[in-house]
């Protein structure tokens, strides 16, 4: 089974958005809460503790740090769209081939074999299928290159079966 795709900057940006919002959001929310609860202690160190003042400072710190973090994340996501080189190995025409040995990715500049046991997960969003090979790295296959939903589901099921049977 094989599929030919043309990966665009929009596809790459979609992957980064998926990763930041789906995979890393929980850690980022915890970080905002930790900062919001610790920062008031640091700011008010040496002063008598007043719960109402502390609570007010927690809310202000959470809002300020949260807004700064969301703004920074938004800027970072916009910049990641520009990261891949036009003539590099991320964007452009690719062919993915499912074999017994693994998933082969071919492009004009390279040919990679990803063995089944090294694939971490296969996930989807509205636009793409993501084949994760590491915590932050995945092959991106836009759904528009599948003939229909049945072909897409067959592709995903085949990969999942190969992953389960990997030695």
pLDDT tens, position by position, 30-72:
887 888 888 888 877 788 888 888 888 888 888 888 888 778 7
* Residue found by looking up tokens 């999942």 in the block: 160
Angle at the Cα of 95 (from 94 to 100), degrees rounded to 5?
145
Q: Which residue has the higher pLDDT, 104 or 13?
A: 104
Residue 129 tokens, joined: 């299928």
Q: Which residue has the higher pLDDT, 9 or 46?
A: 9
Please give the model's pTM, rounded to 2 decimal places: 0.74
Other Cβ atoms closer than 10 A to 149: 9
Write down the pLDDT at residue 71. 83
Quick check: 61 and 35 in contact, CB under 8 A? yes
Angle at the Cα of 106 (from 102 to 108), degrees rounded to 5?
165
Encode pLDDT of 90-102 as tens digits: 789 999 999 999 9
Write down the pLDDT at residue 103. 96
- Sorted by where each starts, the structural domains of the chain and their CATH numbers stand as 2-8+85-164 (2.30.29.30), 11-80 (no CATH)
């Amino acid at each position: 089974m094989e599929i030919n795709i043309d990966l665009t900057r929009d596809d790459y940006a979609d992957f980064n958005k998926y990763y930041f919002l789906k995979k890393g959001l929980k850690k980022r929310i915890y970080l905002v809460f930790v900062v919001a609860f610790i920062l008031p202690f640091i700011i008010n160190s040496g002063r008598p503790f007043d719960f109402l003042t502390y609570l007010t400072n927690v809310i202000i710190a959470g809002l300020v740090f949260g807004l700064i973090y969301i703004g920074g994340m938004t800027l970072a996501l916009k910049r990641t769209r520009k990261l891949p080189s036009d003539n590099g190995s991320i964007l452009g025409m690719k062919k993915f081939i499912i074999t017994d040995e693994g998933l082969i990715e071919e492009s004009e500049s390279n040919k990679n074999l990803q063995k089944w046991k090294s694939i971490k997960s296969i996930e989807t969003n509205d636009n793409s299928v993501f084949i994760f090979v590491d915590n932050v790295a995945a092959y991106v296959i836009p759904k528009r290159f599948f003939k229909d939903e049945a072909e897409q589901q067959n592709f995903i099921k085949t990969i999942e079966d190969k992953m389960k049977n990997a030695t």
